[in-house]
Amino acid sequence: MNNASIPTTMRAAVLHGKGDLRVQDWPVPEPGQFEVLIKVMACAICGSDPTVVNRGWQALPPYGTFVPGHEYSGQIVAVGPGVPDLKVGDRVAIESHKGCGFCKNCKRGRYTICMNYGNRDAGHRHYGFTTNGGYAWYAVNHISTVYKIPDNLSYEEAALITTTACVHFALDNIGGLLGGETVAVLGPGPIGIMAVQLVKALGATKVILTGTREARLKVGQQVGADIIVDVNREDPVQVVMRETDGVGADIVIECSGGATALQQSVDMVMRGGRISLIGDSHEPSTVQLRKFVLSDMSAAGVRGEGMGDCARSLALFKAGKLTAKPLITHCFSLEDINEGFDTFINRKGGAVKVIIKPNQI
Ligand SMILES: [Zn+2]
Ligand SMILES: [Zn+2]
């Protein structure tokens, strides 16, 4: 690095134990070969962050050495050797997964399920999970995880790029979406709300969003849901069947992770329909598989935002077909990150997406 304006010490949120996130002085990392140094302008709290911080994660670095945060954007301030197409000053967002590049899955382009997960020596990186991430003034990223962002996208919105790309990738995994299809989205969290927008942008004509929180359902309606269903008042399966003349939805996107959601998905998807499972359920769930098997249904999970889908998502943002603004409800400085987590976890003030802004004091 040769930029005199980059300090050697910064502030970073370092994980010292379960639930023990401390903002402290920390060395500014240096970009190695094919890496860039990013001045982090926005880092969104993801639903998986409280798990990382409070419960731990596979291949989590030792306590006292690790900076979490994986949904971030910022400006490139230095480039390492060998970087061909990114330069100082570029506005960028990142995806969190970098595969090893040579395992069975990486060779097939499926780097988010790299067989060398967590193995740094093998070249794998999962920023904010097994490698330091974006709750800091600066972060280093491999160029395979970095995307230039369009001028019409703010850093705050760009921090949500993986929220969109994850849904894109989930659709890839069920064979895509055809124009004119009907989609049911279960769970109006950030992913569910973004799923509503994305399937609309891709040509879905009727989108039904189900959930329990009225404020979030309203946001879903604001961004394009044709029908919202408060599951405390109405049976979502009945509503979907009614709205599809008894046929069922072409696609169900399950974003809630709820115990009964998988059964509901099977009950509301049409014969031959596709079910995308995005919700990260921590509990086992029971499902009657007979209908699934005998109706030629298919289902697929999703790990992160693979297939370079961040680029396709950014193209839709650039074209004005998606917006992240209605999802962003709160912003906090890095020094107040624990208040940000509390706001996010306990959904204080109707929190949906909470953004940490490391370079805003
Ligand atoms: Zn995330
Ligand atoms: Zn791999």
Q: pLDDT digits over 234-275, tens only?
A: 999 999 999 999 999 999 999 999 989 999 999 999 999 999
Amino acid at 138: Y
**Could you tell me the pLDDT band of residue 6, with boundaries at 50, 70 and 90?**
very high
Averaged pLDDT, 163-184: 97
Is the confidence at residue 82, as pLDDT, over 70?
Answer: yes
Counting ligands in written order, the one closest to the CA of 112 is 2
What band does 15 get if pLDDT is binned at 50, 70 and 90?
Answer: very high
pTM for this entry: 0.95
- pLDDT of res. 311: 97
The proportion of the chain whose per-residue pLDDT surpasses 70, expressed as a percent, equals 99
315: pLDDT strictly greater than 90: yes
- CA of 116 relative to ligand 2 center, distance in Å: 5
Give the ligand with the smallest distance to the CA of 165: 1
Say which ligand is closest to the CA of 107: 2
Average pLDDT, the chain: 96
Cα-based distances in Å from 163 to 72, 94, 167, 212: 11, 11, 7, 21
Average pLDDT, integer, range 196-210: 98
Residue 361's pLDDT is 60
Question: Rounded CA gap, 91 and 328, in Å?
Answer: 20
Ligand at minimal distance from the CA of 105 is 2
Q: Tell me how far apart the alpha carbons of residues 186 and 237 are, in angstroms, rounded to a whole number.
A: 11
pLDDT for 360 equals 82
Q: How far is the CA of 208 from the centre of ligand 1 (A)?
A: 24
What distance in angstroms lies between residue 119's CA and the mean position of ligand 2's atoms? 10
- Nearest Cα to Cα of residue 100 among 76, 131, 128, 69: 131
Does residue 35 carry a pLDDT above 70?
yes
- Which ligand number lies closest to the CA of residue 114? 2
CA of 269 to the centre of ligand 1 (A): 27
